[in-house]
Amino acid sequence: MNFNIRILDEKDLESYKSIRLELLTEAPENFGSSYEEESLFKDEQWLDRLCKPTAMTIGAFLDEKIIGICVILKNPRKKIKHVASLHSLYVKKKYRNQGIAKNLFVFSEKVLSAEGIKHLRLSVVTTNIAAYNLYRSLGFVTYGEEPKAINYDGVYFNLFLMNKDL
């Protein structure tokens, strides 16, 4: 499969909205946001997220259709500018286990390293073993666990807190 990876911009608004809402319906327990909240966003809110200077949204595309996404948030503060956070790594079910998530991360890592980012952090729901194993294979180390971080339909989910030095 020949897919390409690139940073999204305002021209990708509809693709971004589509995959973001999909991930919130396909795996609602894995993300802090909800479909109910984000489906009400106006285009201005989506564009603000997509074009924010402290955020970088990366997409994987196959035949010009988005099949995966990774969002990185960068710290604007001087003392912690060297630390970024990975959010919302997601690949459509049909395309999983084909190296797309790994390639999204590798692309992100190269861009962040070039920008002087030294540490990348993330959190992953403790029940999402596939994602946890992927992050470990990419060099992330678990440094803690946040109990009851997500409440989805009355069920609490813990988060593993992970870090990688770039």
How sure is the predictor about 43, in pLDDT bands with cuts at 50, 70 and 90? Answer: very high
Asked if the structure places residue 128 within a domain, the reply is no
Instruction: Give 46-59 pLDDT, tens digit per residue.
Output: 999 999 999 999 99
Q: How high is the pLDDT of residue 49?
A: 94
Q: What is the CATH number of the domain that holds 70?
A: 3.40.630.30
Q: How high is the pLDDT of residue 21?
A: 97
**How many helical (H) and strand (E) elements, i.e. helices and strands, does the chain have?**
5, 7
What interhelical angle do 129-137 and 100-114 show, nearest 10?
A: 50
Instruction: Give 109-137 pLDDT, tens digit per residue.
Output: 999 999 999 999 999 999 999 999 999 99
Asked if the structure places residue 163 within a domain, the reply is no
Question: How many structural domains compose the chain?
Answer: 1
Asked if the structure places residue 42 within a domain, the reply is yes
**Exposed e or buried b per residue across 33-46, where buried means at least 16 C-beta atoms within 10 angstroms of its C-beta:** eebeebeebeeeeb
Domain range for 98: 4-120
How sure is the predictor about 1, in pLDDT bands with cuts at 50, 70 and 90? Answer: confident
Instruction: Give 12-37 pLDDT, tens digit per residue.
Output: 999 999 999 999 999 999 999 999 99
Cβ–Cβ under 8 Å, residues 120 and 56: no
Helix or strand run (H / E) with residue 16: helix 13-26
Q: How many CB atoms lie within 10 A of CB 89?
A: 23
